[in-house]
Chain A
């Protein structure tokens, strides 16, 4: 099947644009960048047509062979990978096309597309890898591209700092991922995913913490970094410093779902480690609620959608944690549709307003940029779970599974669904309705077709994509997931979304004074949420400052320059004095010299022994 071509085409695209793009005309850069990804998509479709019940596995060469550690470069496609492949290449193609329009007036054009193609390469390696270490190559690679693209406007300190933050927080997650791999290798003697999963299935279910629980929890640390879950979500909102197509592709539709993919891929480990499963569910649920609360008070259109992404990723983790792995992947797909659309639509709005991102300076745009308006409303309905839109199906699937697991999780999930509908519509209504409050120099203008055609396609998918029955398709890999369809629960969940939309409409269309009144009444709480619960500030005070000051004052100035060099310089001075005395012992006799050398050496040892003891 030549699976290797799927990631390699974008890699070639990245290399061509990276090395020669500076001297290439824009049309050529576009052609290389877009066509390489579209070709990958076509190849993926071809794989889809040929994929039977058995996974397709291809081995290329041995990468690492040291002792018992043998890591081949091996790709495999089963139905789970297939879904991810189609999402990544499909959405990736659309966003590449969109970016041709969006980036048309930006500098570093070739650099942007080179990075974006490189990202596609690593993301495809991630989903195709048949062993965890190769998966980790993709995992780190997408992190690198994320860093490069967040810091794309590298003249700006906020952009490069956000890039650093993303990379380092992800590295903290990698700490868990690496230890998980080491544990797996130690336990199963291999990092091949099928071998590890078969090994895990052969072990009993751990009702108290054991090896599989440890592996699961460590994988969760890695997944929480990449997929922005508590406590490692802090990098994602800042990551919006990158150009908007990057936010859509990497920080909404694909890379951030890698954590979900890894947990689903490792479902055999998690199902045998209920403690790890419960932790996944609780972290997911907590992230979903908290990020939704923060999203309510954000004023930057991209930040609203960023927190919404964190929150929706929390939903996916909830699905995984309650055992509905296929529902989690289902939501990965529908979320890829509507969240990519929300970001691209936001990009279209920002584009129309010459860079304005604050929704307080928008308003009344629905007649000025009608296509953007219609498509964004479609995305809004989908994320709010409006009946028969894509989000409706996947969200219901998750909430039903949560109810089956423990009802309280269902109720928290429903509350979050209501909040989600509310803040997304707050944002959309403030953008498109009422009076225009901004001060752009030129009247807002609709985006060119190269931008709105991808929007339109995504709008169709957001509305109708729920009919693609992912859970059914994934049954051979992830098992039967469907809970008994409970109409009451579905109605409750759906009405939460509708109520959220209604409240938003009431507060921002009918009674515009209400939000301010609420803010004044609950001033303390309002500020607390408005400042994102002061999590960044807390991390800064509890982790970053102690590390910096401790390193500088204690380790460097104290131990290094003070203690060790103090002793060394002391020895130097004293031995110079010692040399003066020893000069008296010069006798010209070679045997005497030899004796002195030995004696001197012994003295040095004794001295070092003492000074070592003094430390």
Chain B
């Protein structure tokens, strides 16, 4: 099948177009179609992994077409190992998010599923675009469906949360646009033609001051999305108010758009600014603050979902720390941890959603002893918690340790602080588990909570399988990542590998 990547990209959107034509009252048909399309979207992305050539340099499945010649924008897509993993994460999580909505969404079904599917295409687009303009379009399109998902199907403070998300990200994207346009005009000045092609933009030469300015502009756009401290306060509100599928997608995929932006754009396009010791140091320190701060604040949450949201801040801190370690272990570990966070936090949000559907509260104090009535739920939750806490043989550990190895190579003090974050991670997760699952059943309302249904178990089963698979045999993922990561490191730090070779001799 040629144009595979285009198929992967537009299957959800095409499905959404058909969905629009199904009458809004035909609930069963709407649900069924949305699930089928989401499943198809996932299945069609699998050949990407099967046909992906780990040893090939550069991008694969590349497709290119003229789009807006007047401004030099083109439809240019392709993936390397980094995008591959994130695309697969997106198609899987997208499907599970649709599946998880079966019972939880009861009104405006049609609009809901249309938005989810549009969102799906936009997120995939972000990870496959090789044209900065195309990337920017997808990046902005992601925002709208999420805004409505929170604003319409969200909790009581949904309007505040949606607006906060919107304003925060919009401020970031406007700055990103400015940085992008600077690159674009610089390219025109130096080469005489307009293009948004990432490969072409890499040739742009800028004064250090200009390059740093562009770096900070892009940084704000990406950092707000990640979110890095201190731009994170939209996240807890958005998560708490979002419907379950929204939270899952937000945490598992959307946050990765920011970290992906750093890896795909900031580092290769602005290598001199990225290696500037002052900049790298600042970003590493912000990452470490996020790790510790997110963990400390998680510790004190009363709202189950908010706790998981703050834990995301902490985990994403590891991801950004890995990136700004600027070495192969740091970056590869970071991408792996982005996938791992998608899996484990995706699970955690699904679990919170399931309990909320049953009890209509997320206050930790309203639970306790749930393990006695929902043993299967408690088991899945235990695995998700341990995965998130980075227990060896589960996925989280692999990413964390690789990042730490990278961070340690860059700066020992960073690594020491980050390791401390792992201690705290165990603390807030175990405490959450104890207060919700263990102990005696104190609230009568919880006595008759039904355990996981078959559909619910099946929703989480693929993620659970991945938790163990990545934990025990992550080697294929490292192989997929090796080439693109090395390329980026060589781009940012020319001669890095030659120096390492010399050092070994």
Contacts A69-B329, A167-B426; A548 near B300 (Cβ below 8 A) = yes
Partner of A62, one of B167, B397, B475: B475
Contact yes or no, A564 B233, CB < 8 A: yes
Q: In the complex, which residues of chain B have a beta carbon less than 8 angstroms from the beta carbon of A151?
A: 438
A107-144 Cβ-contact flags toward B at 8 Å (1 or 0): 00000000000000000000000000100110011001
* Partner among B333, B398, B409 whose Cβ is within 8 Å of the Cβ of A186: B409
List chain A residues, Cβ under 8 A from B297.
551, 555-556, 560
Q: A65-B478, A601-B178, A605-B178 are in contact. Are A551 and B299 (CB under 8 A)?
A: yes
Q: Helix, strand, loop or mixed for chain B's interface?
A: helix
- State A460–B406 Cα separation when bound (angstroms): 52
Residue of B nearest to A551 (CB): B296
Whose C-beta in chain B lies nearest to the C-beta of A164? Answer: B430
* A136 close to B392 (CB less than 8 A): yes
Task: Identify B163's interface contact among A61, A63, A572, A597, CB under 8 A.
Answer: A572
B415 adjacent to A179 (CB under 8 Å): yes
Asked if residues A160 and B438 are in contact (CB atoms below 8 Å), the reply is: yes
A interface residue count range (under 10 / 10 to 19 / 20 to 34 / 35 or more): 35 or more
Residue pair B431, A164 in contact (C-beta under 8 Å): yes
Interface residues of A (CB under 8 A from B): 61-69, 133, 136-137, 140-141, 144, 147, 151, 154-157, 160-161, 163-164, 167-168, 171-172, 174-175, 178-179, 182-183, 185-186, 189, 547-548, 550-552, 555-556, 559-560, 564-565, 568, 571-572, 575, 597-598, 600-602, 604-605, 608, 615
The interface stretch among B32-40, B81-89, B129-137, B417-425 is B417-425
B408 engages A154 (CB within 8 Å): no
Known: A171-B426, A564-B230. A66 touches B333 (CB 8 A): yes
Considering the complex, which residues of chain B in the window 382-438 have a beta carbon less than 8 Å from any beta carbon of chain A?
386, 391-393, 397-398, 401-402, 404-405, 408-409, 412, 415-416, 419-420, 422-423, 426-427, 430-431, 434, 437-438
Specify the chain A residue showing the minimal Cβ separation from B234.
A568
28 sampled A-B residue pairs with Cβ under 8 A: A64-B402, A64-B474, A66-B328, A66-B333, A66-B405, A66-B478, A67-B482, A137-B393, A141-B393, A144-B391, A155-B438, A155-B440, A156-B440, A161-B434, A163-B434, A164-B434, A167-B426, A182-B408, A182-B412, A186-B408, A548-B299, A556-B296, A564-B230, A568-B168, A572-B167, A601-B175, A605-B217, A615-B230
If A67-B328, A136-B392, A141-B393 touch, whether A608 touches B422 (CB-CB below 8 Å) is no
Which chain A residues lie closer than 8 Å to B412 at the CB level? Answer: 182
Residue of B nearest to A598 (CB): B178
Instruction: Give the shortest distance, in Å, between B176 (CB) and chain A (any CB).
Output: 10
3 closest A-B pairs by beta carbon, nearest first, are A67-B328, A551-B296, A137-B392
Query: Is B246 in contact with chain A by the CB < 8 A criterion?
Result: no
Contact residues in A for B473 (Cβ distance below 8 Å): 61, 63
Most buried by B among A67, A69, A156, A575: A67
Kindly state whether residue B369 has any CB partner on chain A within 8 Å.
yes
Q: Report B-chain residues with C-beta under 8 Å of the C-beta of A605.
A: 175, 178, 217
Bound complex: CA of A133 vs CA of B397, how far in Å? 11
Contacts of B175 in A (CB 8 A): 601, 604-605, 608
Give the chain A neighbours of B168 by CB distance below 8 A: 568
B45 at interface, CB cutoff 8 A? no
Using CB atoms, name the residue of chain B closest to A553: B300
Bound CA–CA A172/B422 (angstroms) = 9
B74 near A: Cβ within 8 Å? no
Shortest C-beta distance, A3 to chain B (Å), equals 18
The reply on B439 being an interface residue by CB < 8 A is: yes
The reply on B206 being an interface residue by CB < 8 A is no
Task: Known A168-B423, A174-B422, A551-B299; judge A64-B504 contact (CB<8 A).
Answer: no
Structural contact, A551 and B300, CB atoms closer than 8 A:
yes
In the bound complex, residues from chain A placing their C-beta under 8 Å from that of B427 are 164, 168, 171
A321 to B475, CA, bound (A): 39
Q: Any chain A CB within 8 A of the CB of B374? A: no
List chain A residues, Cβ under 8 A from B481.
66
In the assembly, what is the distance between CA of A144 and CA of B471, in Å?
16
Please determine whether B434 and A160 come into contact, CB atoms closer than 8 angstroms.
yes
> Does A172 lie within 8 Å of B332, measured CB to CB?
no
Q: Which residues of A contact B430 (CB under 8 A)?
A: 147, 163-164, 167-168
Once bound together, how far apart are the Cα atoms of A65 and B106, in whole Å?
47
Measured between C-beta atoms, what is the minimum distance from A577 to chain B in Å? Answer: 14
In the bound assembly, the distance between CA atoms of A133 and B177 in angstroms comes to 44
Is the beta-carbon distance between A178 and B233 smaller than 8 angstroms?
Answer: no
| B:470-505 near A, CB below 8 Å | 472-475, 478-479, 481-482, 500, 504
Residues in chain A near residue B369, CB distance under 8 A: 155
CB contact under 8 A between A64 and B163, given known A164-B434, A551-B296: no
B340 interface hit (Cβ, 8 Å) = no
What are the residues of chain A within 8 A of B220 when measuring CB–CB?
608
Residue of A nearest to B213 (CB): A605
Q: Specify which chain B residues have a CB less than 8 angstroms from the CB of A575 in the assembled complex.
A: 167
A189, B175: Cα distance in complex, Å: 42
Complex: how many Å from CA A20 to CA B389? 27
Cα separation A61 to B475 with both chains bound (whole Å) = 10
Q: Is B253 an interface residue (CB 8 A)?
A: no
Bound complex: CA A133 to CA B482 (Å): 21
Q: Which residues of A contact B217 (CB under 8 A)?
A: 605
Partner of A155, one of B178, B234, B329, B439: B439
- B327 engages A63 (CB within 8 Å): no
Q: Which of B94-146 contact A (CB under 8 A)?
A: none
A462 to B111, CA, bound (A): 74
B293 within 8 A of A: yes
C-alpha spacing A93/B500, complex, angstroms: 49
